[in-house]
Amino acid sequence: MTKMYKIKMYLINLGDELSEKEIKEIIESSVERNSLSMIIEFDDISHKDIGEWTDDIKFNFSDTNIEEYRKEFKINEKN
Protein backbone atom coordinates (compact mmCIF):
# COMPACT_ATOMS: atom_id res chain seq x y z
CA MET A 1 0.00 0.00 0.00
CA THR A 2 1.21 3.50 -0.82
CA LYS A 3 0.89 6.04 1.97
CA MET A 4 0.94 9.80 1.90
CA TYR A 5 2.24 11.76 4.89
CA LYS A 6 1.86 15.41 5.75
CA ILE A 7 4.89 16.53 7.73
CA LYS A 8 5.11 19.98 9.29
CA MET A 9 8.67 21.01 10.06
CA TYR A 10 10.35 24.01 11.63
CA LEU A 11 13.83 24.61 10.26
CA ILE A 12 16.25 27.14 11.71
CA ASN A 13 18.82 28.33 9.20
CA LEU A 14 22.11 28.45 11.10
CA GLY A 15 24.01 31.27 9.49
CA ASP A 16 23.65 30.51 5.79
CA GLU A 17 21.14 32.80 4.15
CA LEU A 18 19.45 30.16 2.04
CA SER A 19 16.43 30.97 -0.07
CA GLU A 20 13.26 28.90 0.07
CA LYS A 21 14.21 27.46 -3.33
CA GLU A 22 17.65 26.41 -2.05
CA ILE A 23 16.14 24.77 1.03
CA LYS A 24 13.74 22.78 -1.18
CA GLU A 25 16.64 21.69 -3.40
CA ILE A 26 18.69 20.53 -0.39
CA ILE A 27 15.81 18.42 0.95
CA GLU A 28 15.02 16.93 -2.47
CA SER A 29 18.66 16.09 -3.22
CA SER A 30 19.03 14.46 0.20
CA VAL A 31 16.11 12.16 -0.57
CA GLU A 32 17.53 11.35 -4.02
CA ARG A 33 21.03 10.66 -2.60
CA ASN A 34 19.59 8.15 -0.16
CA SER A 35 17.69 6.32 -2.92
CA LEU A 36 14.39 6.70 -1.12
CA SER A 37 11.30 6.04 -3.19
CA MET A 38 9.52 9.28 -2.42
CA ILE A 39 7.85 12.14 -4.21
CA ILE A 40 8.00 15.44 -2.35
CA GLU A 41 5.63 18.33 -2.93
CA PHE A 42 6.11 21.49 -0.91
CA ASP A 43 3.17 23.39 0.49
CA ASP A 44 3.23 26.96 1.75
CA ILE A 45 6.58 28.01 3.18
CA SER A 46 6.79 31.02 5.45
CA HIS A 47 9.63 32.51 7.41
CA LYS A 48 10.22 34.85 10.31
CA ASP A 49 13.39 36.59 11.44
CA ILE A 50 14.14 35.48 15.00
CA GLY A 51 17.36 37.39 15.68
CA GLU A 52 20.99 36.43 15.54
CA TRP A 53 22.14 32.94 16.50
CA THR A 54 24.35 34.51 19.15
CA ASP A 55 21.32 36.20 20.76
CA ASP A 56 19.83 34.62 23.85
CA ILE A 57 16.68 33.24 22.26
CA LYS A 58 14.66 30.15 23.13
CA PHE A 59 15.43 28.51 19.78
CA ASN A 60 19.14 28.29 20.63
CA PHE A 61 18.38 25.17 22.63
CA SER A 62 17.60 21.78 21.13
CA ASP A 63 15.22 20.96 23.97
CA THR A 64 12.80 23.83 23.19
CA ASN A 65 9.27 22.44 23.07
CA ILE A 66 7.63 22.32 19.64
CA GLU A 67 4.77 24.44 20.98
CA GLU A 68 7.18 27.39 21.25
CA TYR A 69 7.79 27.17 17.50
CA ARG A 70 4.06 27.05 16.82
CA LYS A 71 3.45 30.07 19.06
CA GLU A 72 6.11 32.08 17.24
CA PHE A 73 4.29 31.73 13.94
CA LYS A 74 0.85 32.31 15.49
CA ILE A 75 2.13 35.64 16.83
CA ASN A 76 3.40 36.49 13.34
CA GLU A 77 0.05 35.64 11.71
CA LYS A 78 -1.82 38.13 13.93
CA ASN A 79 0.34 41.02 12.70
Positive or negative CA dihedral for 32, 35, 41, 45? negative
Positive or negative CA dihedral for 7, 45, 28, 16? negative
Q: What is the pLDDT of residues 8-59, one digit of tens each?
A: 888 887 767 888 888 888 888 888 888 778 888 888 888 888 877 777 788 8
Give the model's pLDDT for residue 18: 84
Give the model's pLDDT for residue 27: 87
pTM score: 0.62
Give the model's pLDDT for residue 15: 67
Burial of 56 (0-12, 13-18, 19+ CB in 10 A): exposed
Q: How confident is the model at residue 79 (pLDDT cuts 50, 70, 90)?
A: very low
Return the SS3 of 44. coil
